[in-house]
C-alpha cells in the first residue's frame, strides 16, 4: 500500500439489499479481513478496519465531488454526504497476521489498505442482488436506478440527453455534472459562465 515497503492484502464480503424502485442500496453487514503483518495492538487494528469500511462505504455509495464550470457544487459536509451513523453496517473485522521481515516488529500497515476492498465488495454484492454492473462510483440511487432501467429497457431514465455539449467529456461522464443540463451556449447572455467558444482544456479527453 502506497510507499510502505511491504504489501498488505485485504478481502471483504458485503451483504447489501437493493430497493429496486428508488435504486437505493443498503449495506447490512461487512466481513473485513486484513493482512496487517504483526498486529502490534489488535484492538487498534480492529478499529482501523472498521473505520476503513466506513470510509470505503462513503466512496462506494455517496461521496462525490460535483463540478460545474470549475465550481465545486457540493462544497460542504452537508452536500458531500459522508455516511452517517444510520448507514453504518455491522462490521466483523478479521485480523490476518503475517510477519513481515522489513517492517517494525514485523508489522505492515492497517488503515487505507483495507478500504480498497469495500468498493468492489459492495459493487459485486449489488450485481449479485439485482444483476447490474456499475462502472462508476459512487453507486448513488440515481445511477443504480438508471442501470436497472437500462437493463429492463423499461422507460429508461435518460441521464445524458441534453448535457452541456461543451463540457469536457470527463466531467460530462462524471455523473454529478449530469444534473446541470442545457447550460453552456444556452446560458443567458449575461451569465458570467457562458462560453461562446468550445472549451480548450480537456475538450477532447
Q: Which residues bind other proteins (CB under 8 A)?
A: 21-22, 62, 64, 66, 69, 71-76, 78-79, 81, 83-87, 140-142, 145, 157-159, 176, 178-181, 183, 186-188, 190-193
Burial of 14 (0-12, 13-18, 19+ CB in 10 A): buried
**Catalytic annotation on 109?**
no
Angstrom distance (rounded) from CA 198 to CA 166: 6
Query: Which of 71, 169 has the CB closer to other proteins?
Result: 71
Q: How far is the CB of 171 from other proteins (least distance, A)?
A: 14
Choice among 20, 87, 92, 112 that is catalytic: 112
* Residue 114 Cβ vs other proteins, minimum distance, rounded to whole Å: 23
Nearer to other proteins, 44 or 82 (CB): 82
Using the minimum distance from each CB to other proteins, give the nearer residue, 36 or 146: 146
| Closer by beta carbon to other proteins, 171 or else 180 | 180
Nearest CA to 180 out of 94, 67, 101 is that of: 67
End-to-end CA distance of the chain: 29
**Burial status of residue 63 (CB atoms within 10 A of its CB: 0-12, 13-18, 19 or more):** middle
Query: Min. distance of Cβ 111 from other proteins in angstroms?
Result: 24
Chain centroid to Cα 83, Å, comes to 11
Q: How far is the CB of 6 from other proteins (least distance, A)?
A: 36
Spatial distance between the Cα atoms of 165 and 25, rounded to a whole number of angstroms = 31
Catalytic positions are: 112
Amino acid at each position: 500500500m502506497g510507499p510502505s515497503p511491504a504489501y498488505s492484502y485485504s478481502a471483504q464480503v458485503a451483504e447489501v439489499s437493493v430497493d429496486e424502485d428508488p435504486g437505493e442500496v443498503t449495506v447490512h453487514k461487512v466481513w473485513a479481513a486484513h493482512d496487517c503483518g504483526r498486529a502490534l495492538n489488535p484492538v487498534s487494528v480492529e478499529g482501523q478496519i472498521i473505520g476503513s469500511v466506513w470510509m470505503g462505504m462513503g466512496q462506494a455509495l455517496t461521496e462525490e465531488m460535483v463540478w460545474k464550470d470549475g465550481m465545486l457544487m457540493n462544497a460542504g459536509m452537508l452536500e458531500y454526504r459522508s455516511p452517517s451513523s444510520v448507514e453504518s453496517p455491522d462490521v466483523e473485522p478479521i485480523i490476518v497476521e503475517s510477519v513481515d521481515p522489513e517492517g517494525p516488529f514485523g508489522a505492515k500497515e492497517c488503515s487505507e489498505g483495507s478500504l480498497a476492498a469495500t468498493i468492489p465488495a459492495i459493487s459485486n454484492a449489488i450485481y449479485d442482488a439485482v444483476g447490474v454492473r456499475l462502472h462508476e462510483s459512487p453507486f448513488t440511487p440515481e445511477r443504480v436506478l438508471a442501470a436497472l432501467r437500462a437493463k429492463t429497457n423499461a422507460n429508461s431514465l435518460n441521464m445524458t440527453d441534453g448535457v452541456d455539449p461543451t463540457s469536457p467529456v470527463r466531467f460530462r461522464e462524471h455523473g454529478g455534472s449530469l444534473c446541470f443540463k442545457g447550460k453552456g451556449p444556452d446560458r443567458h447572455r449575461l451569465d458570467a459562465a457562458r462560453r461562446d467558444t468550445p472549451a480548450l482544456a480537456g475538450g477532447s479527453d
